[in-house]
């Protein structure tokens, strides 16, 4: 990121984009970053100065679903993102180079942009045997530490990098941990989801390149603009929850009418994400709109958070046997107590001595 490099605004201008086009870009960027339209002038001013940041993307124990998601972004498109807005210097799946040339590109980017580049990580890091996951013979842990050392900030993309995800699900055979468990001395932002919404990934990147800083984060290290409200609160079916109208099965009248999916196990009330407003596939739909409850994929440890199709208020494990046994135990204990009480009463009766007036007179 040398300073003779053009700013984002200059790059757009060189492509023949007018001020009007630039303002349109700012307006769609504001929408992308989930910022209010009133922020457009501030975004325009920031983009006048912003330069393309160098981005290094590391993939550890992951399924490439997050990268698949990234490539589905339409605003900005992955091409637009890489050509105009960021300098993606290392990404296994997207880069043309391989082997030593790829690693050399990573090292060069780290050297040239020391202290300024953005590190994006998807996948969790195995703390068990280092050989569980390596890149170019380097363990994930070592590569993360080495690459994070010179980064301005780290973005953990996807539930695996943010919380451990599937690899960390019980019994966690590889000892998988999230990025935040290892990197303590850098700002770490979590962008959870399995995968995260494409435009949320590009949205946080846009935020970093626009304002050269991470957006405001919540307690779980998530950007508040995207993860500030629950699916349930932003769900267009919420009015049905309030009216007490629920789908009871996936093909009943209620389901056809688009009623609330709470009873079918929707985790919308405890899931914080932007699905209900940003939606997926260019804003076409999201799971609830397609008739399936939210499974809560962007919450910590969601793999171990109970059955997907049980309502939130239902018990997770069957309790009938245990309660039955406890009731039987209570009955036995109660009967034993009753018998003891009766025995005590009987013995008191047996020990009872009759006292006559004569006895009392004698005692005088």
CB of 70 to another protein, least distance (A): 16
In terms of CB distance, is 60 or 259 closer to another protein? 259
Could you say which residues in the range 133-152 bind another protein, by CB under 8 A?
none
Among 270, 303, 308, 309, binds another protein (CB under 8 A): 270
Residue 289 makes contact with another protein by CB under 8 A: yes
Tokens for 346, please give them.
């009987």
Distance CA 100, CA 323 (A): 62
Sites for another protein among residues 46-85 (CB under 8 A): 74-75, 77
Nearer to another protein among residue 187 and residue 300 (C-beta): 300
Q: Which stretch binds another protein (CB under 8 A): 96-104, 107-115, 232-240, 352-360?
A: 232-240
* Residues 88-91: contacts with CB under 8 Å, at least 24 apart: 88/55, 88/57, 89/54, 89/55, 89/56, 89/117, 90/56, 90/57, 90/58, 91/56, 91/57, 91/59, 91/67
Query: Is the CB of residue 130 less than 8 Å from the CB of residue 138?
Result: no
Pull the structure tokens for residue 228. Answer: 């500030």
Q: Count of residues binding another protein (CB under 8 A)?
A: 95
Q: Looking at 37, 99, 131, 171, which residue binds another protein (CB under 8 A)? A: 37
CB 78 within 8 A of CB 70: yes
Of the pair 119, 276, the CB lying nearest another protein is at 276
Q: How far is the CB of 75 from another protein (least distance, A)?
A: 4
User: Do the annotations mark residue 275 as ligand-binding?
Assistant: yes
- 122 and 158 in contact (C-beta within 8 Å)? yes
| CA distance linking residue 348 with residue 161, whole number of Å | 72
* Number of helices and strands in the chain (H, E): 17, 9
Q: Is 26 annotated as a binding residue?
A: no
Binding flag, residue 277, another protein (CB under 8 A)? yes
Structure tokens at 82: 């890489």
Q: By CB under 8 A, is residue 328 in contact with another protein?
A: yes
Q: How far is the CB of 127 from another protein (least distance, A)?
A: 20
- Binding segment toward another protein, per CB under 8 A, in 20-28, 101-109, 113-121, 143-151: 20-28
236 near another protein, rule: CB under 8 A: yes
List the one residue out of 137, 102, 104, 145 whose CA is nearest residue 121: 145
User: Per rule CB under 8 A, is residue 299 in the interface with another protein?
Assistant: yes
Of 93-101, 125-133, 170-178, 282-290: span binding another protein (CB under 8 A): 282-290
| Under 8 Å between Cβ of 248 and 293 | no
Work out which of 34, 43, 110, 118 binds another protein, going by CB under 8 A.
34
Question: What is the residue-wise DSSP string for 339-350?
Answer: HHHHHHHHHHHH
Residues annotated in a binding site for [4Fe-4S] cluster: 63, 66, 160, 194, 232, 235, 260, 266
């Amino acid at each position: 990121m040398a300073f003779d490099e053009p700013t984002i605004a200059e790059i757009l201008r060189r492509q023949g984009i007018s001020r009007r086009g630039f303002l349109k870009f700012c307006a769609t960027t504001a929408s992308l970053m989930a910022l209010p339209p009133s922020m457009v002038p501030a975004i325009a001013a920031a983009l006048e100065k912003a330069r393309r940041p160098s981005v290094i993307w590391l993939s550890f124990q992951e399924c490439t679903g997050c990268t698949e998601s990234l490539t589905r972004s339409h605003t900005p498109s992955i091409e637009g993102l890489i050509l105009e807005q960021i300098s993606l210097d290392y990404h296994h799946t997207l880069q043309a180079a391989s082997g030593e040339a790829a690693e050399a590109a990573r090292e060069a980017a780290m050297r040239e942009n020391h202290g300024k580049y953005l590190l994006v990580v998807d996948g969790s890091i195995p703390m068990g045997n280092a050989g569980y996951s390596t890149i170019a013979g380097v363990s994930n842990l070592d590569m993360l530490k080495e690459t994070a050392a010179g980064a301005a900030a780290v973005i953990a993309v996807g539930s695996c990098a943010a919380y451990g995800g599937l690899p960390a699900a019980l019994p966690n055979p590889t000892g998988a941990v999230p990025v935040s468990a290892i990197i303590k001395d850098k700002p770490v932002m979590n962008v959870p989801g399995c995968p995260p919404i494409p435009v949320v990934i590009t949205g946080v990147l846009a935020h970093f390149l626009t304002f050269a800083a991470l957006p405001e984060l919540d307690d779980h290290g998530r950007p508040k603009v995207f993860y500030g409200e629950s699916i349930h609160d932003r769900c267009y079916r919420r009015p049905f929850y309030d009216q007490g109208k629920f789908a009871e099965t996936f093909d009943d009248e209620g389901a056809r009418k688009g009623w609330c999916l709470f009873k079918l196990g929707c985790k919308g009330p405890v899931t914080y994400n932007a699905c209900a407003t940003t939606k997926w596939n260019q804003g076409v739909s999201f799971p609830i709109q397609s008739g399936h409850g939210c499974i809560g994929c962007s919450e910590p440890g969601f793999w171990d958070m109970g059955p997907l199709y049980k309502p939130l208020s239902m018990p997770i494990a069957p309790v009938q046997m245990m309660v039955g046994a406890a009731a039987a135990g209570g009955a036995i204990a109660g009967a034993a107590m009753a018998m003891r009480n009766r025995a005590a009463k009987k013995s008191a009766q047996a020990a009872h001595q009759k006292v006559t007036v004569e006895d009392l007179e004698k005692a005088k």
